[in-house]
Every structure is written in C-alpha cells, then in structure tokens.
Amino acid sequence: MVSKLNIEEFLTRSQNHPVLDVRSPGEFDHAHIPGAISLPLFSNEERAIIGTIYKQKGREPAMMKGLEFYSASMQRIIDDLKNRTDDKQLFVHCWRGGMRSGVVAWMLDLFGYKVSTLNKGYKSFRSWVLTSFSQPRNIVILGGKTGSGKTEVLQELKKSGEQIIDLEKFAHHKGSAFGDLGEAPPPTQEQFENDLAMEFFRLDLSKNIWLEDESQRIGWINVPNSLWNQMREAKVFYLDVPFEERLKNIISLYGKFNPENLKAATLRISKRLGGLDTKNVLQFLEEGKIKEAFSILLAYYDKAYLKATEQRSAEQIVTIPISKVYSIEAASIVSKISAAASSPMGV
C-alpha cells in the first residue's frame, strides 16, 4: 500500500533508500532533491503536449493524451529502475504530489515495491528549503585574506571531527574573479539552495558548523539572505598569513591556467582594480611574469577583504597568526583556540 508523507518524514525516511523524481528531464535538470534519481513519467516533449491540450481543451482530454504515453513510460521506468537499484523501498515525488507520482507509485506497488510519495511534491520540498535557512544555527566562520588556505583548513577540521560546509564546493566557484577556473559549470541558484539545505539537514544543529568567510555572492550564486545574516553575526577565526606566503599559494593555484583566461578574469574586475593596475597586470601576464601580476591582484583583494572585515565588530574576530599556508598545522591551532573560546562564543 502506498503511503503519503510530509516533507520532514520523506527526507528522514528516504536517507538510505532511492528517491525517484518522476518530473520531466527539464524540471529535474533545473533543480532537484540532492541524490534523487530521474525517472520521468513523461519526456519534455510529452509534458509540453499534455500541457497544451490542458490549456486548450481541459483536464479530461489532457488525461487521455497522458494515458497514451503512460504504458510505454511505465515499461521504461520499471526496466530502468531494475538497472539502478535492488532496493524494494522507494520514495517517489513529482511537482505537486498529484497524478504523476500517484500513477507511478500505484504501478510500482503492483510490482511489489514498498512505495511512499511526497505530499505536495517537490513544491513542498522547495518551501522547506527556503524556510530552513532561517533556522538558527551555531555557525562559526573561518576567515582570512585571499590565499590563506581557508578551504584546505576547513577540510582538515572536518577530518578532526568538526562539522563544516564548503560553500565554494556547492557553488562550483572559489569566490574571486578567477574562481571559476578549473571548476565545473555552476549549478542553478535553486540547485545550490537545495544542496545547501540538505547538507545542513544531515548535520547536528546543536554543534558548531564551520563555514568559510565569503561574500554573499559566490560567482554566479547568492547565499540566501537569512543564512548570510547569521554568517555576518557569527564569531570569526581569522587566519593572519603573511602576504608572501599567500602569494606563493595563489600562484600555485592559478599560475597554471592559460594566460588568456587570466587576462579575461582580470578584465572582469578592471573598473574596481583601476586603469593603471589593470594595464600592468595584463602586461605582466603577457610577459609571463606571474608573480608580478598576482602581487597586484592580491593587494587589490586584500583591500577588499579588509573593507568587509571592518563591517564586523572587533569582539567578533579572533586573530590567529599563521606563518605559512599549511593546512594541518593551521587546523590544529584553530581547533585549540576555538575550543578555548567556546564559552564566550555562546555557540
């Protein structure tokens, strides 16, 4: 017998079982529940045909056209499902929790699967995602100027048992004008929010959650306002790494890329960088003088970071001098200092 679950039950019970998204491929590609399997009842074209008939002739003719597609679709879904999983407990959803998930769940039930559907479908998931960012969390920020190795320190903190969320990983972007180099194409804003909400869902919200200090906009993606406000109010553990050490790190990360790509990235910030500095960076890149080019760029990003830092109160920031960009050592120091500061943090 098919059961219908609310969003919290659906997400909790489905954690170790397949989630089947029976919306069209286009809907799925735009955004979906992280980890869901796309098994569309109708193709993009079939869905468009049914929608057109619904608008022009009404519900019943649209349903009849859907039935024409249904038989072949269910054959495909059953065959595809057998190739994807041996699990007999399935969780199915469509857009509104209506006919598409209903008919697929009914057929899967006949085939001996234990099926649950999502009440109000993906629409209810999106409502949950957007609401979830307002939930208070024990956020702790790892700060530091560009090139301080913050992402690497976060990963070391994770290895030591801390809870972290890597915003740049979800955004497929490292934050600066050069941040898309070597990264996969960015997700949609909606998919970023879905991934982020589910990552928080898997964590223990009573414990500290470490995030890297970021601008609200990471590449083409925006951190949701309610989460961003919590990040700006959180305690910051600031890695104070010497300029030359950070410069070495930046060169190792970006110096390998095609000079033309580096020039294009530089031009994206030319108005803020200024005419003379832009001209000099482009000239240095043309001559293969990577260190000279990135010295100018790093100085620019340092000014921008300091300006953002000044918007926080001094009580929020704990400065941690680090002599080198060395993630294991830095993570160890951060862990000790944050543990010692846990009582006054109030997190």
- Just list the catalytic residues: 94
E strands, the chain, are 3-5, 19-21, 37-38, 89-93, 114-118, 139-144, 163-165, 209-212, 217-218, 221-222, 235-240, 317-321
DSSP code per residue over 209-228: EEEE---SEETTEE--HHHH
CA distances from 49 to 65, 92, 217 (A): 8, 23, 38
> What interhelical angle do 275-286 and 290-309 show, nearest 10?
140
Residue carrying the six token digits 């009849």: 64
Residue (of 124, 177, 162) closest to 301 by Cα position: 177
Amino acid at 88: K
Q: How many residues does the chain have?
A: 347
> What interhelical angle do 150-159 and 327-340 show, nearest 10?
70
d(CA 115, CA 107): 10
